[in-house]
Amino acid sequence: MAGIRRLLVANRGEIAVRVIRAAQALGIETVLAASAADRDSLGARLADRTVVLGPGPAAQSYLNPGLVVEAARGTGCDALHPGYGFLSEKPALARACAEHGIAFVGPPPDTIEQMGDKLAARAVAKAAGVPLLPGSAAVESSAEAAKVAAEVGYPVLLKAAAGGGGRGMMIADDEPALHEAFETASTEARAAFGDGTLYVERFIRNARHIEVQVLADGRGKVLHLGERDCSVQRRYQKVIEEGPAATVAPEVRAAIQQAAVKLISTLDYANAGTVEFLYDADRAEFFFIEVNARIQVEHPVTELITGQDLVAWQLRIAGGEPLTLEQADIALDGHAIECRINAEDPANGFRPSPGRVQGFAAPADPAVRFDTYLAEGALVPPFYDSMVGKLLVHGTDRDDAIARMLAALDALRIDGLSTNQEFHTFVLRHPDFAAGRVHTRWLETVGMDAFLARESAA
């Protein structure tokens, strides 16, 4: 590949392994920037070279943009892939790369900054004519938030303007609850993002989380690669993802896809991205949430139903290549499901379970894909997110995919750690999931109680 010669992979775990393999398939040399805790990881063994950024804690390694850029410069890398999480949506890293002539595998820094500010993103969506949830601009006090809530109607959601992932986000069913929640949400947002600014949105009780995968080459071409349904969540964190959104009417799915393309087309956007929406199942209406200006954890769902390698396209675009695909080339085939496999104990409050893998065996079914950094003897450090892999299946339809996933969960063996495999099996067997009756708070309002009751009975 002419565009990129040597790539710094500035991440860890399964996404580091994923990026390294995609780069090497394109003939690109790879350098892994790892913490001391990950120096013997599968990613470190696969990369052509590994450099240690610093100690295990992320603040001293993966979250230090100066160290990351110096690692790229010191190893002669002409491109940097940030993966997801950590610094992937920090414009400071993208700007530092640009200053040193390093191709950043992601959108331009100004676009990352614009989309990282949820209020600015709402303004872009509004200007593009994309539906927005009734809500507000920034509110300075709980009294101001209460005025907005009175106009929007309860329940409402207080949200952090500077971040996501459920931090600085609280539901209020009435005015007293809103006043009580405001300071808590603002304090949490300030601790997580360095900015306590909040805004108010109408809260949808029967909401599905639908997101559209897009690719843009920075030359005017924007394509969508279908949508994913990520409604099975715990504390605003996705647990199970699937695609396409088979339980949403085809005409609604098409409208959501076109809204995503319309929004991205108004931006100076290049590379992969995801446009996220809430779908009100009771009113058959959808609303823009945010743009994730990076590769998503659940991107393999789209890869399985489209046959496209999204990470390879990221690298090609960052290397200066145009998108050679046309929208007509994108056809969705069958149904895919992803279960996030975490080293945690669901029966004990999802307590993390770091440690060393004593035994490991992935499912042998060719219809099953397991993106992971695990192997027998691998260490799961205590410093990071508890996800250790993503189990994926591809079926002819949704029912077939569910059956294949249940078999894959049964076949997957990870000894020495507690994992959430049994919890996934419970969810997939639940009649609500089979019938497509889940919503973004289904786990918290129905699923967890049913799971814990079963555990107690056992």
For residue 208, indicate whether it is catalytic.
no
The two beta strands, 237-243 and 207-217, are: unpaired
Catalytic residue among 18, 95, 294, 398: 294
Phi, psi of 50, rounded to the nearest 5 degrees: -130, 135
| Cis peptide, bond prior to residue 366, ω within 30 of zero | no
3-state secondary structure the chain: CCCCCEEEECCCHHHHHHHHHHHHHCCCEEEEEECHHHCCCHHHHHCCEEEECCCCCHHHCCCCHHHHHHHHHHCCCCEEECCCCCCCCCHHHHHHHHHCCCEECCCCHHHHHHHHCHHHHHHHHHHCCCCECCECCCECCHHHHHHHHHHHCCCEEEEECCCCCCCCCEEECCHHHHHHHHHHHHHHHHHHHCCCCEEEEECCCCEEEEEEEEEEECCCCEEEEEEEEEEEEECCEEEEEEECCCCCCHHHHHHHHHHHHHHHHCCCCEEEEEEEEEEECCCCEEEEEEEECCCCCCHHHHHHHHCCCHHHHHHHHHCCCCCCCCHHHCCCCCEEEEEEEECEEHHHCCEECCEECCEEECCCCCCEEEEECCCCCCEECCCCCCEEEEEEEEECCHHHHHHHHHHHHHHCEEECCCCCHHHHHHHHHCHHHHCCCCCCCHHHHHHHHHHHHHHHHC
Q: How far apart are CA 278 and CA 133, in angstroms?
A: 9
Backbone conformation region of residue 272, classed left if phi is above 0, alpha if psi is from -120 to 50, else beta: beta
Integer-rounded Cα radius of gyration of the chain: 21
Active-site residue numbers? Answer: 294
